[in-house]
Amino acid sequence: MKDLIKDIESRFEVSDYIQKLDHLAFVTVEKEQAIALVTYLRDYRKFTSLTLLTAVDWLEDGVFQLTYLLNNPSELTEIGVRVMIDRENASMESAHHLWENMMTYQRELREMFGIDFPGSPRINEDFILEGWGDLPPYRRDFDTKVYSEETYFPRPGRQSNDPATYMKSKMYPNE
Amino acid sequence: MDYSITKFLWTLLGLFIVTNWGMLMSSTMRRIGARVSGRIGIPWYQPWVDLVKLYSLRTQLTHGTMFYIGPVFRLMGGVGMFLFLPMVFGNPIWSNYSFSGDLVLILYFQFFGMLGMALGAGEGGQPYSAIGISRGLSQFTTIEVPMTLAVISIAIQYHTLSISEIVAAQQGGITTWTLWTNPLATAAAMLSLLGAFGHSPFNLVKAPNEIPIGPPTEFHGTFLGVLRTNSAILHVAEAALFMNLFFGGATSWFELIIKTFLIYFWSVFVGTVFPRFRIEQSVRWFLKVPTIIGILAIIIFL
Amino acid sequence: MNKHKFEDLDVDKFLAPENQKRSVIAPDGSIVEVDPLKDYFCQDRPEVLKPKNGPVEKFLNWARAESLWVLGFGTGCGSIEIPPLVTPRFDMYRYGVQMRPTPRQSNVFIISGYLSVKTLKRAIRSYEQMPSPKYIIALGSCTINGGMYWDSYNTINRLDHYMPVDVYIAGCMPRPEALLAGFGKLKELIKAGKAEKANEYAENFDWYKANQKKIIKDWNMPDYNW
């Protein structure tokens, strides 16, 4: 794993690197180099299997973090390639030519986070939601509770408590 | 009263008895199947309640003329088989309208309902109906091969195509039954009977859980009620045909009830033991052992 | 960022290609206009069908109560509670309850748990294809007030705004015994002549349709699916 990271650092600009487990590491690279790194890992370092492509919404920093999680079946190692992309007009280079299932992950991110992948097949088709017209629901500035109350006729009379204060009042009423 | 009218009324009464016996038999068999899997099963009167409910639905819709005619054709297959089948031997009333060539006609009526069903279900437009029909027709074609061979063997043996004469030749104890005198033909026919009743190894026409229920997927309400009435009649008529051909016929309604029950039970007995075949397995199965037995049965009597 | 706004919603773009309006050249050379939504489906509104009078209806209701055919349609986590009903331990066949694989032959629709908007669309289609009289059993608290998915962006909160419900079974999840008790309650209602929710659906058809269309934004089916 150490050799691999050194090799990557000698070829690409790695801005951050975390070794989570012996066989699991995450590297953060610039947006322009990410697909090149993923291609390099697949073609020269035997990371032939795409485990997943996922996104995290860092609302406060104004970025989306994309993670390409790759698996090396022969050495049983995994590496995650992290990319930070701008939250405004979020767009990323498509990698559908590397794995067939990448297309589906990209469709999902397009629908749930609104991240565009220009050139990816069927990217603008509905994936799970049918005819969704609001903000993409996995964005953190989309308030799912308000949306649900406006849309789905909430039954009046539901009470909810803040778990911390409620449990405190139940279990330690004197403190 | 005119004899023909009296005869007609008696035949209607026979049809009524056969229908109810068929429904009671089907609920009993379902209860037996339930006991095998450790359940109690439906109440014995469930088929009648289902029928009343089906005939009393408030909305029904049709897909066209053939959609109406399909279940009627199917019912004609069952009723036609009953009409030309002597039920109780030696009784002119319960011999129905059997005549000297009735065996050929009855073999035709077996297939007739299937064809009507194919036309009606095809108009329903359900893709699963089409799959069920194609399976049903191809399977029934292969079922007919050993059954027809067995019937030809019997016709050669008794030199007649009249069921009444075949039954008459078998009177006089178990040693005169076709079961005893022509065991090969009986074996071929009893194996093809498994497919004709459509129980478990060969239930791939309706195939529950696989293609929802095949041809009757679109049928509901009265249409389904007619189909269920027909299946009650057809099961008894089919069992009575085999009783007449191979097991000495019946001299009373009581004997008929016992024998048809046992013949029907044979297919249920096999059905609770074996899982479902695929269509190509089923077709091959009928064209191998039962067909060879049927050919041997003919060669022996040539 | 939005793929399509609700305001400029054009129904036709949701239609599958085989359901689009088109012109077809007939064998004799003439051109025929085909509108599959109108030609292949019956769009008539449902009608209120009055019960028959007196003892006849009472007898028919008894038969309907003793022969409940359940549509094999599982919507949420509750669908795992239905298969145990056919096992020896619970054995619903004793009570005249049987499973049917097609909506055309079933009378009872069990909404088993949470309903996403996508599933609601299919559930409505299946419900409307069932022949009247038909009954709905709502299983689990998700159908009552949303349950633990009450603030989710794509599961409904109250089923009775979209489909008429006869019997609610509360719990998360109710056990199969509770489901059997629900069937018992439904039988009581039918025998008392109080299970006429299919007629209620027909009476308040516009209200139900408005609620359904509020959340099903890609409405690409006829208003009433026969």
Q: Residue A85: give the domain boundaries.
A: 2-127
- Whether residue A156 lies inside any domain: the answer is no
Of C6, C14, C157, the CB nearest to A148: C157
A80 touches C at CB < 8 Å:
no
Q: What is the pLDDT of residues B136-186, one digit of tens each?
A: 888 888 988 998 899 889 888 888 888 888 888 888 878 888 888 888 889
> For A65, which DSSP code?
E
Intervals of chain A under pLDDT 50:
none
Mention every residue, 6+ apart, whose C-beta is less than 8 A from residue B201: B194, B270, B271, B274, B275, B276, B277, B282
**C2 contacts A129? CB cut-off 8 A:** no
C144 touches A at CB < 8 Å:
yes
Q: What is the pLDDT of residues C92-133, one digit of tens each?
A: 999 989 888 888 889 999 998 888 888 998 899 889 888 888
Chains B and A touch (3+ CB pairs under 8 A): no
The SS3 call for residue C137 is strand
- Mean per-residue pLDDT of chain C: 84
CATH code for position A20: 3.30.460.80
C123 in Cβ contact with C116 (< 8 Å): no
C115 in Cβ contact with C155 (< 8 Å): yes
The SS3 call for residue A26 is strand
Tokens of B232: 């009650």
Looking at CATH, the fold of the domain delimited by C60-211 is given as Rossmann fold (3.40.50)
What is the distance between the alpha carbons of residues C158 and C144, in angstroms, rounded to a whole number?
5
The SS3 call for residue B82 is helix
Q: What residues of C are in contact with residue B27 (Cβ under 8 Å)?
A: none
In which region does residue A114 sit, left (phi positive, over 0), alpha (psi from -120 to 50) or beta (all else)? left
**C98 contacts B38? CB cut-off 8 A:** no
- Whether residue A136 lies inside any domain: the answer is no
| Mean pLDDT for the stretch of residues B280-288 | 89
Instruction: Give the best residue of C42, C49, C66 to mutate against chain B (max B CB count within 10 A).
Output: C66
**How do the domains of chain C map onto residue ranges?**
60-211
pLDDT at C40 exceeding the cut of 90? no
What is the distance between the alpha carbons of residues C115 and C97, in angstroms, rounded to a whole number?
24
Integer-rounded Cα Rg, in Å, for chain A is: 21
Of C5, C150, C211, the CB nearest to A133: C5
Q: What pLDDT does B202 receive? A: 85
Instruction: Give the best residue of C42, C86, C105 to mutate against chain B (max B CB count within 10 A).
Output: C105
DSSP characters over A151-174 = HS-PPTT-----HHHHHHHHH-TT
Looking at residue A117, its amino acid is F
pLDDT at B217 exceeding the cut of 60? yes
Instruction: Give the best residue of C114, C124, C154 to mutate against chain A (max A CB count within 10 A).
Output: C154
A153 touches C at CB < 8 Å:
yes
DSSP characters over B212-261 = TTSGGGG--HHHHHHHHHHHHHHHHHHHHHHHHHHS---SSHHHHHHHHH
**A132 contacts C151? CB cut-off 8 A:** no
Q: What is the pLDDT of residues B218-267, one digit of tens each?
A: 888 888 899 889 889 988 988 988 888 888 888 888 888 999 999 999 98
Mention every residue, 6+ apart, whose C-beta is less than 8 A from residue B139: B195, B202, B204, B205, B279, B282, B283, B286
Chains C and A touch (3+ CB pairs under 8 A): yes
Alpha-carbon distances, residue C84 vs A140, B54, C56, C114, C185 (angstroms): 40, 26, 35, 19, 19
Q: What residues of C are in contact with residue B57 (Cβ under 8 Å)?
A: 131-133
Q: What pLDDT does B1 receive? A: 63
Of C4, C118, C145, the CB nearest to A155: C145
pLDDT at C187 exceeding the cut of 90? yes
**How do the domains of chain B map onto residue ranges?**
3-301
Of B37, B53, B221, the CB nearest to C64: B53
List the subunits that have 3+ CB pairs under 8 angstroms with B.
C
Number of domains in chain A: 1
| Torsion C119-C120-C123-C129 (CA) sign | negative
Tokens of C197: 């929710």
**C145 contacts A148? CB cut-off 8 A:** no
Q: What is the pLDDT of residues B93-142, one digit of tens each?
A: 787 777 787 888 888 888 887 887 888 887 777 788 888 888 888 888 89
B78 in Cβ contact with B19 (< 8 Å): no
pLDDT at C181 exceeding the cut of 90? yes
Query: Count of CB contacts below 8 A, B vs C?
Result: 77
Among the ranges given (B31-40, B256-265, C27-36), the one the predictor scored with the smallest mean pLDDT? C27-36
The SS3 call for residue B271 is helix
Strand-pairing partners, residue C116, are C155
Mention every residue, 6+ apart, whose C-beta is less than 8 A from residue A61: none
